[in-house]
Amino acid sequence: TAAQIRGWIANRYYYQKCIPVKDAAILGNLPDRDKRRVWITRIINQDGTLENGGGGLEQWFALARAAGLDDEALRSERDVQPGTRFAVDAYVTFARTQPWLPAVASSLTELFAPDLMSARIEALVAKYPWINPKGLDYFRNRVTLAARDADNALPWVIEGATDLAAQEACLSALRFKCDVLWAILDATQAAYGIGS
């Protein structure tokens, strides 16, 4: 239903808003300049710049508007469920407090994002024709940006996880990130239901 889609957009907004905060925490823990130069592009891609505006977060607002939500409704976070807030805040705390290697590994859900984003675009267009297709630019852009981000992060994890303990920490971090994403969906489902 429209209410379910809007509820998902509102809850996922909280995650979108916190992505650059999470990435800034990882950036602060990265050990060398070259890695920081690569990682900072994630923050810029999501927040945009003063000169150029834009960014993924602005595209998320465009999605919300295309689905009938106004900017104030999104910014107020009044529809963000406690389970979503708890999961996302836990992810930001994880990025702040863990060593850089598992924190970077947690981002590797992006390995699967290009296919997921393409499928999401198709599903939204087919099942929700009332959403203005111009509002789907966030997903269109993530097809290429997520692939690039994963291509940058994966070699760091492979090169850095040289022993069993580091490999297990990286796998655990990736599982944790999947749990965060599921918790957002679960909180949204509990509030808005499934189906019509």
pLDDT digits (tens, 9 = 90+) for 85-100: 999 999 999 999 999 9
* Per-residue pLDDT tens digits for 125-172: 999 999 999 999 999 999 998 899 999 999 999 999 999 999 999 999
* Per-residue pLDDT tens digits for 48-102: 888 877 899 999 999 999 999 999 999 999 999 999 999 999 999 999 999 999 9
Residue with tokens 């406690």: 82
C-alpha distances in Å from residue 5, one per residue of 13, 27, 141, 158:
12, 33, 20, 37
SS3 letters for the chain?
CHHHHHHHHHHHHHHHHHHHHHHHHHHHHCCCHHHHHHHHHHHHHHHCECCCECCHHHHHHHHHHHCCCCHHHHHHCCCCCHHHHHHHHHHHHHHHHCCHHHHHHHHHHHHCHHHHHHHHHHHHHHHCCCCCHHHHHHHHHHHHHHHHHHHHHHHHHHHHCCCHHHHHHHHHHHHHHHHHHHHHHHHHHHHHCCCC
Sorted by where each begins, the domain ranges of the chain are: 2-192
Residue type, 120: R
The pair of three-digit structure tokens given for residue 79, joined into one six-digit string: 């529809």
Q: What is the Cα Rg of the chain in Å? A: 17
**Total residue count of the chain as it appears in this document:** 196
Whether 5 contacts 131, CB under 8 Å: yes
Q: How far apart are CA 8 and CA 80, in angstroms?
A: 9
- In degrees and rounded to multiples of 5, residue 131 shows phi and psi of -85, 125
pTM passes above 0.85: yes
Q: How far apart are CA 14 and CA 18, in angstroms?
A: 6
- Give the model's pLDDT for residue 49: 85
- Give the model's pLDDT for residue 148: 92
* Per-residue pLDDT tens digits for 167-191: 999 999 999 999 999 999 999 999 9
- In degrees and rounded to multiples of 5, residue 53 shows phi and psi of 60, -145
Indicate the CATH number for domain 2-192.
1.20.910.10
- Give the model's pLDDT for residue 195: 58
Closest CA to 116 of 138, 101, 132, 99: 138
**Is the pLDDT at 196 greater than 60, yes or no?**
no
- Give the model's pLDDT for residue 50: 82
